[in-house]
Amino acid sequence: MRLYDPTLDALVEEQRRVIAALPPGPPLPPAGALLPGVNQALPGRPDLTVRILRPEKVRGVMLHVHGGGFTVGTPAMADGGNSRLARAAGIAVVSVDYRLAPTHTHPAAVDDCEAAALWLLAESRARFGTDRVLIGGDSVGATLSALTLLRLRDRHDAARRICAAHLVVGAYDYSMTPSQRQSTDALFLSPAHLRHTRRAAFPGLDGEQLRDPSISPLYAELRGLPPAIFSVGTEDAVLDDTLFMAARWAAAGNVTALEVYPEAPHLFMLLPTRMADEALRRAVAFIDRHLG
């Protein structure tokens, strides 16, 4: 059984050259014209802002959750990737500036994403002229997107109001999947980085405690969730997280697309490669199908 589409093999050599030339650290945002970003505080929450990128034509709006291992990052750092997605899919992007660990530990980040999601569901028609709302993010942004969907379903009976989820290289089991345990120091998602994330966001928790579904959504009941596209590379420390989560998402009866990219590392969609371009094309095609 092939884990990925064999036509992607033609894109591997270029990806290898780009990766070999990378400086240390995470990939830089993709080049290209940025949409202007507008920051806005949520009503009643002056401490919680969202950053809005809006293309000329808007068919839908996506709540975006940035990566950064719970400890770093801002919505603005994702302007490059979000501008590309917004233009390609014809969607506005609303990125939430959630609180970061270790100053604010779990569940602060999920609380903020839940609040932003409820605000967007209430305001999308008036502000963007559409009630077609999506959710998505990469790395811990995908994790937080999944946790937010579970809260929308369980606390507000609102998960079905999200028309699709775009989940890229998420970590869904903080007790560590096999691929996390076997990861190396290649690029920047090292075992030490993964340990730092867990200790900062979930201090004092270990083992079975980290399998709580409110922390590791792989262990949640997943019925009644929206269509989702899961994207990951074979060289990612969280490869297993995506493989396992996509399988459980589908087994729960949800519409599921799984896209695996050969030799692609963590955050590969930020790389200036044809592989990243193809991943974006497939994600946009999935979004198109579910925007209606």
Per-residue pLDDT of the chain (292 residues; tens, 9 = 90+): 789 999 999 999 999 999 999 887 767 666 568 999 999 999 999 999 999 999 999 999 999 999 999 999 999 999 999 999 999 999 999 999 999 999 999 999 999 999 999 999 999 999 999 999 999 999 999 999 999 999 999 999 999 999 999 999 999 999 999 999 999 876 668 888 888 899 999 999 999 999 999 999 999 999 999 999 999 999 999 999 999 999 999 999 999 999 999 999 999 999 999 999 999 999 999 999 999 8
Q: How far apart are CA 117 and CA 104, in angstroms?
A: 19
Q: How far apart are CA 88 and CA 71, in angstroms?
A: 30
Q: How far apart are CA 202 and CA 189, in angstroms?
A: 18
Amino acid at 229: I
Q: How far apart are CA 258 and CA 25, in angstroms?
A: 27
Is 232 exposed, middle or buried (CB count within 10 Å of its CB: 0-12, 13-18, 19+)?
buried
* Element containing residue 28 per DSSP (H, E): none
pLDDT at 186: 66
| Domains within the chain, CATH numbers bracketed | 39-291 (3.40.50.1820)
pLDDT at 187: 61
pLDDT at 114: 98
In DSSP notation, 86-138 reads HHHHTEEEEEE----TTTS-TTHHHHHHHHHHHHHHHHHHHHHS---EEEEEE
